[in-house]
Structure 1
Amino acid sequence: MHSLLPFLLAMVAVIVLLNMFATKLKIAYPILLVIGGLAISFIPGLPVIKIDPDLIFFIFLPPLLFEAAWTISFKEMKKWWRIIGSFAFLVVFFTALSVALVANHFIPGFTIALGFLLGGIVSPPDAVSTGAITKFVKIPKSTSAILEGESLLNDASSLIIFRFALVAVGTGRFVWQDATMSFFWMVIGGAGIGLLLGWLFVQAHKLLPTDAPSDIALTIIEPYLMYWFAEQLHSSGVLAVVAGGLFMSARRLKFLNSTSRIHAYSVWESLIFILNGIVFLIIGLELPEIVDGLRDDHIPLETAIGYGVLVTAILIAARMISSYAALIATIIFRPSVQPHPSSRTRRWMMPLLLGWTGMRGVVSLAAALAIPVTLGNGEAFPHRNLILFITFVVILLTLLVQGLTLPYIIRRTGFFDGIFAEESEQSTKQKIKKELKQHVYQFLKSKYENELKDHAGLEMFLKHWEERTKATDDSWMNEKTKVIFVEMLEIQREYLSELNKDPKINEEIIRQQLFQIDLEEERLKMI
């Protein structure tokens, strides 16, 4: 333990340094973390990291999924639910099937069950990788929402395939009737358990006398409880965390105060950054041990690399085929809901771009590492090392090839030029701020007309809305004014919540304004 702790602390330091370096180079930090982990693994004398396969999902997935559910725009998910649903479920199954058939045909000793196991592992694109890569280029919010929504839900569908395939490999048989019933229970039961626990957690936050530290501690515990409880009932822990996270996210203004929301943002941002960084470093650190396992299985390294390249090519091809199939189906059946690029060429190039965004990452690695070392009868799990190696090659190739070229392709082709709305984000923010000031002014005029006449502080506040923080002192802010001020802030939150129902308003801008209001309330508490 004493030798492992400094190594773990050094890993966190490396993650921070590589992230800063990646930001300077304007490339996605997962790419450098994987390469860095691979380079570090060749340093002699380093301790070997062993992660219990039974714990890999439980350690990493619940907080990663919960945080993703809190940050995603549920409004945009509802708007593009058809495309998101097709990519998250139908495309994942089609991809897993394609990988299963190809692996069964080209890899000696690979059964259909093992092929589906591999397909379930490598089929879900990684939200972290995609988000880290696209932050250096400007893409429409519709495309971003589709990618984020897909990445949030496809984890569940791919892991369901993974679980069924794991059972089939272990038992040697697959009963469709039992699998169908189990599938529906995993989907419906998982979502239901997540919603129920999410509701209970919201009530607990409301009823218990919590403060910011305890609120944040509870939000860290809650995704683990959702996941564990659903898994104990043989349902989908992933769907439970996603459903519960979305439910709680939509009600964050109701059960968390401004202090909890502000502090939680920083804590969760750091926690998720470290967890993602550790996983991507582990991807590189695990490679030498995986290669040693291939040697023990008498599989030549170049042969295994060829399998990895083949599976990667199938993944890219399946995603592009699915993207064009989704576009054609949308044009035929739902032409009114499709994104509208400015030209026919761009419309038909959109699936090509979506097909090129399928970087793999955290979930694929977690699933591969979760494969048990032995079967129930004590025999070694067939082709485990080869599956791990193929997964590593897929992650590495998609991150390096697609991840490094995607920003360049977008900038070079100017694909999204002219697609964005005429009204920029900055002008939208200014418009919302102006409407907020008018809304608050009308509220004060109607409810506190007498106080406005008699209280110079409030008059000054209304006249100098933008410059009030420049005042030489805060003597004008007495307890009565504070009460009214807090009420004004709450009125603004209610107004923004109503404004967010407008499908034309970017929810990210609304959240930024809400965060500024929270900061204003915190400043008020310090006076």
Structure 2
Amino acid sequence: MDATHLFELVIAMFLAIIALHYLARRLGLPPSVALLAGGATLAFVPGLPAITVDPELVLVIFLPPLLLDGAWSIAVGRLRRHMVGIASLAIGAVFFTTVMIAVVAHLLMPALPWAACAALGAIVSPPDAVSARAVLERVKLPRRLQILLEGESLLNDASGLVLFRFAVAAAATGTFSATSAIGNFFLLAIGGALVGAVVGTVWVKFVRRLGDEYLIIAATTLLAWISYLLGEFLHVSGVIATVTTGLVATWHQHTVLSAATRMRGTSFWEVFVFLMEASVFILIGLSLRDVVERGGGFGQLAETMALPALAILLALVVTRFAWIFGSELVIRVCNGLGLAKTAPIGGGGVVVLGWAGVRGVVTLALALSLPQDFPDRDFILVMAFAVIVGTVLVQGTTLGRVISWAGLTEPESEKARMTMSEAEAAMAQVQFASVRDLAYDRDGKLIHPQLLERYQRRATAIIDYAARTEDYKPVLHAHFDVVLEAVAVGRKELIRLHRAGEIDDETLQELERDLDLEELSAISAKA
């Protein structure tokens, strides 16, 4: 396949993404399910060339920006507060799952070497950041469960990658040391965190000197690959390096980025990440063709692999529930003995966390990266694909109903001390105080009476609204509906003037930008 045909396929893939997302929205399906099914269907279209996915390239292209995006949008304060629980899922659960899946695989195929069993366990053990985001975007969770799942999906890839590499090395050499594996894992993690902290700090200092919003957005886009590739080059965890860089950047972005940079950067980044996430699921579906052909067709695969795949999938779910339930039990025992004061997540939280382990791009890339002469490589590939498809189709489509059934509520300890209205009132008071000080000249003469009156009126209204939010909501909704209608009428007149030749393109663009900002402000305030 030449470069032109490859580019045509990429454009066709993006068109398919748009169509499948639209179809998923119309049918009420999770987009990940539609994209996975669509990719699998496209893979078997007659005349379409087979798509060969380079696993290392998939990891390098897709994983860093998606990890950075997850770190950028995560609540750093809650991440720090719940780091023990996140580490339990991202490290403990991955190690435990790897061991249990290795045991189940060995029972299913006694001839399969233990190193190959461990490799399968490491491949399917980490829930995926991309898949988790695709699922969590459609559901509403209490803050604690949300941060546990987000934090787990950011950090567990490092655990899975380290275990996988040790398993592959053990298969090649015939030796394995658990002590060495654990020690190396912590060295890789600490090294990755140091690299990420350095890259993030350099970014903060660099952005402060750039000054140009387009250069800042471009530099921030490259940040993910810089930290990941530098971490891998220094033989530490590129995953941890990227996540740490993202956490440093998100902590400082409120002070180093201008409003214009933040608005334009957010718009660009959301579209970019949308295409990246969707492309991953399409590629997973397209990769299915090679696995099916190597396995002798759907019929042969169903006959020989269906029961083992179902057993692995059930073992994966049961193992995750066992770890989370066991952790909850340990928390309750420690609280009862007075050794800790961590609030348990409750039965509903255990069910939701246990059911949220969707697999995706990392599982795909690790499975495809197995050496060609690896023991029972095809069996491991089929099991990995079965886990991806099973978790996305079953858990991804039903998680919303499981959350509704669990009847989860937000604990008081997780609620913010101030509501949004109270925070807005505090901000308005400070703004009014600043304007009041600057509204007079050195001789005490009022030089900005209208500005002072405007900010005083605004502060009074916001404080009053914070005290009687429910009373004002209907009035405010009606108020901003009128604002939006006025914006629409103004936009229509602006376009009429432009079409009639009364104003030039520059005037249209400047006034349209003002209307856009007014519309976005009204929509945000109404929401």
Shorter chain as normaliser: what TM range?
A: 0.7 to 0.9
- Count how many residue pairs are aligned between Structure 1 and Structure 2: 458
Q: What corresponds to 1:443 in structure 2? A: 434
Cα distance in 2 between the residues matched to 1:66 and 1:419: 27
Q: What corresponds to 2:222 in structure 1? A: 221
Q: What corresponds to 1:273 in structure 2? A: 274
Deviation at 1:392, TM superposition (A): 1.0
- Alignment gaps of 5+ in structure 2: 462-478, 487-516, 522-527
- Aligned mate of 2:156, from 145, 154, 157: 154
Amino acid at match of 1:316: V
How does the TM-score come out when normalised to structure 1? 0.80
Whether the 8 Å contact between 1:168 and 1:174 is mirrored in structure 2 is: yes
Cα distance in 1 between the residues matched to 2:281 and 2:201: 33
- Aligned mate of 1:388, from 381, 394, 411: 381
Cα distance in 1 between the residues matched to 2:250 and 2:256: 10
* Cα deviation code 1:327-369 (max 9, x no counterpart): 11111225632256xxxxxx22321221111111122112222
- Is the aligned partner of 1:403 residue 2:416? no
Cα distance in 2 between the residues matched to 1:274 and 1:57: 15
Deviates more, 1:442-451 or 1:195-204: 442-451
Deviation at 1:172, TM superposition (A): 2.5
Q: Give 1:64-83 correspondences, 5 Å limit.
A: 64-83=66-85
Deviation at 1:447, TM superposition (A): 5.1
Deviation at 1:410, TM superposition (A): 2.6
Amino acid at match of 2:288: L
- Is the aligned partner of 1:168 residue 2:160? no
Amino acid at match of 1:228: L
Cα distance in 2 between the residues matched to 1:250 and 1:437: 23
Q: Is the partner of 1:3 in helix, strand or coil?
A: helix
* Cα deviation code 1:25-73 (max 9, x no counterpart): 3332111111111111221111222232332221111111111110111
Deviation at 1:371, TM superposition (A): 2.5
Amino acid at match of 2:23: F
Cα distance in 2 between the residues matched to 1:259 and 1:349: 42
Q: What corresponds to 1:361 in structure 2? A: 360
Cα distance in 2 between the residues matched to 1:160 and 1:306: 29
Whether the 8 Å contact between 1:142 and 1:339 is mirrored in structure 2 is: no
Amino acid at match of 1:324: F
Deviation at 1:308, TM superposition (A): 1.6
Q: What corresponds to 1:289 in structure 2? A: 290
Q: What corresponds to 1:336 in structure 2? A: 341
Whether the 8 Å contact between 1:360 and 1:395 is mirrored in structure 2 is: yes
Cα distance in 1 between the residues matched to 2:135 and 2:185: 33
Whether the 8 Å contact between 2:24 and 2:31 is mirrored in structure 1 is: yes
Q: What corresponds to 2:407 in structure 1? A: 415
- Alignment gaps of 5+ in structure 1: 341-346, 374-379, 473-515, 521-527
- Is the aligned partner of 1:371 residue 2:370? yes
Cα distance in 1 between the residues matched to 2:302 and 2:268: 42
Q: Is the partner of 2:446 in helix, strand or coil?
A: helix
Cα distance in 1 between the residues matched to 2:315 and 2:381: 17
Aligned CA distance change for structure 1 residues 225 and 383 (closer, same or farther; 3 Å): same
Deviation at 1:384, TM superposition (A): 2.3
Q: What corresponds to 1:512 in structure 2? A: none
- Is the aligned partner of 1:47 residue 2:49? yes
Whether the 8 Å contact between 2:331 and 2:344 is mirrored in structure 1 is: no
Cα distance in 2 between the residues matched to 1:422 and 1:169: 48
Q: Give 1:155-304 correspondences, 5 Å limit.
A: 155-176=157-178, 178-207=180-209, 209-295=210-296, 300-304=301-305
Amino acid at match of 1:361: G
Q: What corresponds to 1:120 in structure 2? A: 122
Aligned CA distance change for structure 1 residues 432 and 423 (closer, same or farther; 3 Å): farther
Cα distance in 2 between the residues matched to 1:44 and 1:272: 30
* Cα deviation code 1:261-287 (max 9, x no counterpart): 211112211111111111111111111
Aligned CA distance change for structure 1 residues 325 and 261 (closer, same or farther; 3 Å): same
Deviation at 1:446, TM superposition (A): 4.1
Q: Give 1:508-519 correspondences, 5 Å limit.
A: none
Q: What corresponds to 1:506 in structure 2? A: none
Whether the 8 Å contact between 2:288 and 2:385 is mirrored in structure 1 is: yes
Aligned CA distance change for structure 1 residues 179 and 140 (closer, same or farther; 3 Å): closer
Q: What corresponds to 2:9 in structure 1? A: 7
Q: Is the partner of 1:45 in helix, strand or coil?
A: coil
Deviation at 1:186, TM superposition (A): 0.7
Aligned CA distance change for structure 1 residues 414 and 101 (closer, same or farther; 3 Å): closer
Q: What corresponds to 2:419 in structure 1? A: 428
Deviation at 1:319, TM superposition (A): 0.6
Deviation at 1:11, TM superposition (A): 0.9
Aligned CA distance change for structure 1 residues 224 and 101 (closer, same or farther; 3 Å): same
Amino acid at match of 2:32: P
Whether the 8 Å contact between 2:132 and 2:356 is mirrored in structure 1 is: yes
Aligned CA distance change for structure 1 residues 100 and 458 (closer, same or farther; 3 Å): same
Cα distance in 1 between the residues matched to 2:236 and 2:25: 40
Cα distance in 1 between the residues matched to 2:199 and 2:272: 22
Cα distance in 1 between the residues matched to 2:226 and 2:414: 43
Deviation at 1:421, TM superposition (A): 6.0
Deviation at 1:444, TM superposition (A): 2.7
Q: Is the partner of 2:359 in helix, strand or coil?
A: coil
Deviates more, 1:441-450 or 1:186-195: 441-450
Q: Give 1:484-503 correspondences, 5 Å limit.
A: none
Amino acid at match of 1:456: P
Cα distance in 2 between the residues matched to 1:300 and 1:29: 27
- Is the aligned partner of 1:34 residue 2:36? yes
Cα distance in 1 between the residues matched to 2:414 and 2:160: 38
Whether the 8 Å contact between 1:360 and 1:399 is mirrored in structure 2 is: yes
Deviation at 1:77, TM superposition (A): 1.0
* Cα deviation code 1:206-253 (max 9, x no counterpart): 23x341221111112121111111111211111111111111111112
Whether the 8 Å contact between 1:53 and 1:371 is mirrored in structure 2 is: no
Q: CA RMSD in A?
A: 2.9
Deviation at 1:93, TM superposition (A): 0.4
Whether the 8 Å contact between 2:125 and 2:160 is mirrored in structure 1 is: yes
Aligned CA distance change for structure 1 residues 23 and 300 (closer, same or farther; 3 Å): closer
Cα distance in 2 between the residues matched to 1:137 and 1:227: 30
Amino acid at match of 1:223: A
Aligned CA distance change for structure 1 residues 435 and 170 (closer, same or farther; 3 Å): same
* Cα deviation code 1:419-476 (max 9, x no counterpart): 4669999x93222222211121123334544488221341243145489998x9xxxx
Q: Is the partner of 1:336 in helix, strand or coil?
A: coil
How does the TM-score come out when normalised to structure 2? 0.80
Whether the 8 Å contact between 2:135 and 2:396 is mirrored in structure 1 is: yes
Q: What corresponds to 1:479 in structure 2? A: none
Amino acid at match of 1:124: P
Whether the 8 Å contact between 1:230 and 1:240 is mirrored in structure 2 is: yes
Report which of the two structures shows the higher radius of gyration computed on alpha carbons.
2
Aligned CA distance change for structure 1 residues 105 and 87 (closer, same or farther; 3 Å): same
Aligned CA distance change for structure 1 residues 264 and 8 (closer, same or farther; 3 Å): same
Whether the 8 Å contact between 1:18 and 1:32 is mirrored in structure 2 is: yes
Deviates more, 1:279-288 or 1:126-135: 126-135
Deviates more, 1:197-206 or 1:440-449: 440-449
Deviation at 1:322, TM superposition (A): 0.7
Whether the 8 Å contact between 2:126 and 2:160 is mirrored in structure 1 is: yes
